[in-house]
Structure 1
């Protein structure tokens, strides 16, 4: 049994890391570092409530999951790796490429498992997209569009509105969207970025639009906090046809509403949210969505620790994604396309 501890019990800790670790065979949720002791005792009475320093120093903890404000990820990950712990870091993996490279090198030096929590690889919609692209039915992909929109005009808690803390939409949802694009298409040749702060009083970017160039192909990743009627989650257009899909994977919403990972229907999309394939001859077909399952991430982490199996998301993938996000920000600032 691999004893695991979670640092942070906000949205990431309560909705993702703690319940996922608790649900995976081979992992034991042994401790949670937070000031919200009552919430922990109500949800996980067997888990110790502690501090980040004490959790990292605990010799019985083998795996540390970090789900704290963005600008604390580097220091906590460094401390945990230096203490000989395997580490999972919520996105963003770090707030700079230099920090990401430093903790990756440290993990390699110590022979420890280090992984970014890019759980969106196990979204129902993205699994469906991968299956469809692997089938070749769309032919050569010319335009790939991914949107992740919300209507959240109000300002969030202070650290999420602080550019100094590495906050903003680009580092919030950008790592997931870039990661998915890199999985499908690899590194692009060039990138163009556009950022804006559209909410009243906002100090951080709450809108971004990134275009990745792959020869004739364009991959467009866009997100906004000021969209009441969301755009398609995926719009994929090839020489043979198009696939359009609305709606987000249901796992986060179910867990936030108090649902259980053990529910037989967990991760299964409603038929109304399934995407539509339109072929060049006009024929249309509903494509059933794959079942999403974030447990696969932590199950693979357990195997990587216990059996030296591959890490589910290599740290190098997060470093590559941060390089592209950094270029996108520079492109937006300079108003030009940048070569990768």
Structure 2
């Protein structure tokens, strides 16, 4: 098996929680270290790896095959471009870039250099999204008429992370939570024909957008995407209505919570939801009306990294492509324009 030697561009929450544990688990990756600016923490968890003093020290290291750009959004384009120009493959966290033009440039550069470039849309491998996809693939609901995706929280307090609460090209809920549910909608249903959006500032003293309501227009389908910080009692995270029936699913994926408390992923029991979060299927099958709970599939972010390994080692398509990232940025830009002009924006 080809071993892909990998470096992180930060070892904060995302590096520690979402990347390093899966790089350690997957036999096809070797974590060489992370760029660390002030706090030197990675060697506390992985004593054998290196704390790199600068981005340049990573780019100049010929042994590194893959770099994970997991820094603040407004740095993604600059850092990812430098990584690709250095001849290294890249994973870039969401939001892929700050705008569509940057996303297109990175995609073109990776293609020109013959490098693999993937966007870290790990939520495609959440247990609930995998279950929703299974329901859609099974055609149990008939032709889909409408769907509604929520990423709701109750958190009226401003984040202590300054870059998240300061006006910059990467701040705001549209580029934080928005890319998750936008990517999921495009993954399941493809690009829409048009976009309408309402973007708001709801928390006291906030200077960045913290509420979004996006409507995606397809020829025979409408999808609503919502996220905000004042939802104490959450809605179902996924509501799908078809001409035969409906499917409702709450957000129950356990991976992030378990990673945050230091649990290590595995290939057997990892990503198993607790009982009580099963989806509700209410539909008609062979002329009979049924209403029943649907067991949730296991989630596992390992599958994203397996896809990246296959892409680099065996020249397969990335699990989330740069074009997927471009498409998400197209929706985000259209949403901002729609909110500004108070009208539907054709794609």
Same fold (TM > 0.5): yes
- Name the counterpart of 2:276: 272
Quote the offset at 1:264 in angstroms: 4.3
Partner of 1:272, secondary structure, is coil
Distance in 2 (alpha carbons) for counterparts of 1:18 and 1:53: 21
- Name the counterpart of 2:37: 35
Partner of 1:28, secondary structure, is strand
Distance in 1 (alpha carbons) for counterparts of 2:220 and 2:306: 38
Of 118, 121, 131, 2:121 maps to: 118
How many residue pairs were aligned?
A: 340
Q: Is the 8 A contact 1:37 1:49 kept in 2?
A: no
Distance in 1 (alpha carbons) for counterparts of 2:271 and 2:260: 13
Of 307, 329, 336, 1:329 maps to: 336
Deviations 1:36-80 (A, max 9, x none): 654211211111001222112211100000110111111110111
Partner of 1:319, secondary structure, is helix
Superposed counterparts of 1:166-185, under 5 Å: 166-185=170-189
Quote the offset at 1:320 in angstroms: 0.9
- Name the counterpart of 1:142: 145
Distance in 1 (alpha carbons) for counterparts of 2:189 and 2:314: 30
Once superposed, what is the RMSD of the aligned Cα atoms? 1.4
Q: Does 1:223 align with 2:223?
A: no
Q: Does 1:13 align with 2:20?
A: no
Q: Is the 8 A contact 1:125 1:249 kept in 2?
A: yes
Distance in 2 (alpha carbons) for counterparts of 1:313 and 1:125: 18
Superposed counterparts of 1:210-249, under 5 Å: 210-249=214-253
Deviation larger for 144-153 or 256-265: 256-265
TM-score after normalising by structure 1:
0.97
The answer for unaligned runs of 5 or more in structure 1 is none
Superposed counterparts of 1:42-81, under 5 Å: 42-50=44-52, 51-81=54-84
- Name the counterpart of 1:209: 213
Superposed counterparts of 1:90-129, under 5 Å: 90-129=93-132
Distance in 2 (alpha carbons) for counterparts of 1:301 and 1:43: 24
Runs of 4+ residues deviating >6 angstroms? none
- Name the counterpart of 1:304: 311
Distance in 1 (alpha carbons) for counterparts of 2:23 and 2:11: 13
TM-score after normalising by structure 2:
0.95
